[in-house]
Structure 1
Amino acid sequence: MKQAPNCNEPFPLQGYNKLCFLKNVVKNPKIEIGDFTYYDDHDDVANFEKNVRYNFDFIDDKLIIGKFCSIASGVQFLLNGGNHLIQAISSFPFAIFGHGWENAMQDKAYPVRGSITVGSDVWIGHEAVILPGVTIGDGCIIGAQSVVTKSVEPYTIVGGNPAKPIKKRFNEEEIETLLKIEWWNWPVDVITQNIQLLTSKDIKALMQVHQQLKSA
């Protein structure tokens, strides 16, 4: 039987250090990455963590990414540390400058829209930007240079600024089936045995494998 790649190997492509399995490279505890999710950077994979912007310890938010995601070079995730007041007279962050302005935020708080959550088997294209509080469902595709301001339903292709749905990858019944299957949670040896199936369009056959696993 063929052996799957080692998800604990930082650089799975021999002699190539511009693509990494992210969980082995990211060090910030506020960033959670699932197995086999990879990042491909034109220059240095360390850019991924640099591109998780406004990630401050004093704000209770995270970036959570599932398994088997494909993340292209230049993708940016903007967390809540970059938020300003938008309903006040001024959006200027007076308090951070001190010198008599420290009390500007007394009894006030900057808006926090929540963590960014990316499901499994998501492809995020070149230089896309994901804003705070966004949830991207399993199986989504985010077009290159898109700006994702709102959550995206599973298995949806979106693109543009702001990103808008282009189409669903499958019909609703097929999506419901795929969300039940959650193939990314199968044992790695089962995934390896069914690589040809996972790169086909045969959802019914995939469901049969899922049912066999459940009954085993």
Structure 2
Amino acid sequence: MVFYKPYIYFKYKAKVSASAVLSRSTFLSENCTIHSKVVVANSSIGYGTYIGQKSKLANTHVGAYCSIANNVEVLPYTHPSSTFVSTHPAFFSVLKQAGFTYTTQQLFNEELFFDREKKIHLKIGNDVWIGTNVLIMGGIEIGDGAIIAAGSVVTKNVKAFDIVGGVPAKVINSRFNAEQIELLNKIQWWNRSPEWIKQNSELFKDIQVFEKAIEKSHPIV
């Protein structure tokens, strides 16, 4: 028999597993779902986004309507891989990760920031789908509408609506053509009200239907 952890409902209808861990500085928008054993620290999660089991996000800005699968993790730290003779932190860091250090000053910026001033390691856009077991390095941005294939290691920025995969992740394809991407960037449906989206949800099943509706001056304009 399988027993499931209950969920706790927070203000604004956010749904959080009782086994998830969230820092007090984490902000949840409406209709978010945080599943079991997820850890989220110092982050903001956009409307309708869900985070799968055992994923770990720290200092991350996540947009609206994102689908984040199980075991996704942000890797905010790095080691020098060239110039320095050794990759061991005793030679470049004063943090004493191994319990000791040979340096009296920080010689290498080991913490990776997308926005150093705001202390954001990673920015994830809107309507992003991240597959199971994906690792994402800090210091980068994943654009709106992007897809990250399961098992990928993302080491650099991902453009809007690109599909990437592999180790390291590389571009596989784009979800839409240039004109369609321009249209979606203009409409930014993820910033519309839930009522507007529900009213026009039938258009979302086909990008060509979506385009034609706009060309005909459909009420979504």
Given the two structures, how large is their TM-score scaled by the length of structure 1?
A: 0.73
- State the match for 2:45 in structure 1: 33
Give the alignment of 1:80-119 within 5 angstroms. 80=77, 83-86=78-81, 87-94=83-90, 95=94, 96=96, 101-102=100-101, 104-106=103-105, 108-114=107-113, 115-119=121-125
Please tell me the residue identity of whatever aligns with 1:171: N
Are 1:204 and 2:201 counterparts? no
Deviations 1:61-86 (A, max 9, x none): x3111000001111111113xx2233
Query: What is the RMSD computed on CA atoms of the aligned residues?
Result: 3.0
Specify the code of the residue in structure 1 equivalent to 2:182: E
Q: Deviations over 1:98-126 (max 9, x none)?
A: 87x44515152334432211100010011
Q: 1:127 and 1:178 mapped to 2: Cα distance? A: 28
Q: Read off the aligned partner of 1:63 and give its amino acid letter.
A: T
Higher relative strand content: 2
| Alignment partners' CA distance in 1, 2:51 and 2:40 | 14
Gaps of 5+ in 1: 1-5, 42-46, 56-61
Cross-structure match for 2:139 = 133
Counterpart residue type for residue 173 of structure 2: K
Quote the residue 1:10 is aligned against.
15
Deviations 1:35-92 (A, max 9, x none): 1001232xxxxx33xx23xx5xxxxxx3111000001111111113xx2233322211
Cα separation, 2, equivalents of 1:92 and 1:72: 32
User: Matches of 1:181 and 1:98 in 2, distance apart?
Assistant: 50
Comparing 205-214 and 167-176, the one that deviates more: 205-214
Q: CA deviation at 1:207?
A: 3.6
Whole-angstrom CA distance in 2 between matches of 1:7 and 1:198: 25
In the alignment, the residues of structure 1 paired with residue 136 and residue 217 of structure 2 have an alpha-carbon distance, to the nearest angstrom, of 32
SS of aligned partner of 1:153: coil
Shift of 1:11: 5.7
Q: Secondary structure at the match of 1:162?
A: coil
Q: Unmatched 5+ residue regions in structure 2?
A: 1-10, 21-31, 114-120
Alignment length (residue pairs): 183
Alpha-carbon separation, structure 1, partners of 2:153 and 2:102: 34
TM-score by length of 2: 0.71
Distance 1:89 1:160, change over 3 A: same
Q: Cα 1:40–1:102, aligned 2, differ >3 Å: closer, same or farther?
A: closer
Identity of aligned residues (%): 34
1:1-216 alignment runs, 5 A limit: 8-10=13-15, 21-22=33-34, 28=41, 30-41=42-53, 47-48=54-55, 51-52=56-57, 55=58, 62-80=59-77, 83-86=78-81, 87-94=83-90, 95=94, 96=96, 101-102=100-101, 104-106=103-105, 108-114=107-113, 115-201=121-207, 202-205=209-212, 207=214, 212=219
CA distance, structure 2, for counterparts of residue 102 and residue 159 of structure 1: 37
Cα distance in 2, alignment partners of residues 8 and 126 from structure 1: 25
**Cα–Cα, structure 1 residues 79 and 36, in superposed 2: closer, same or farther, change >3 Å?**
same
- Which structure shows the bigger proportion of residues in helix conformation? 1
Paired with 1:209 and 1:88, the residues of 2 have a C-alpha distance of 61
What SS does structure 2 have at the residue aligned with 1:104?
Answer: coil
Shift of 1:208: 6.0
- Distance in 1 (alpha carbons) for counterparts of 2:143 and 2:167: 19
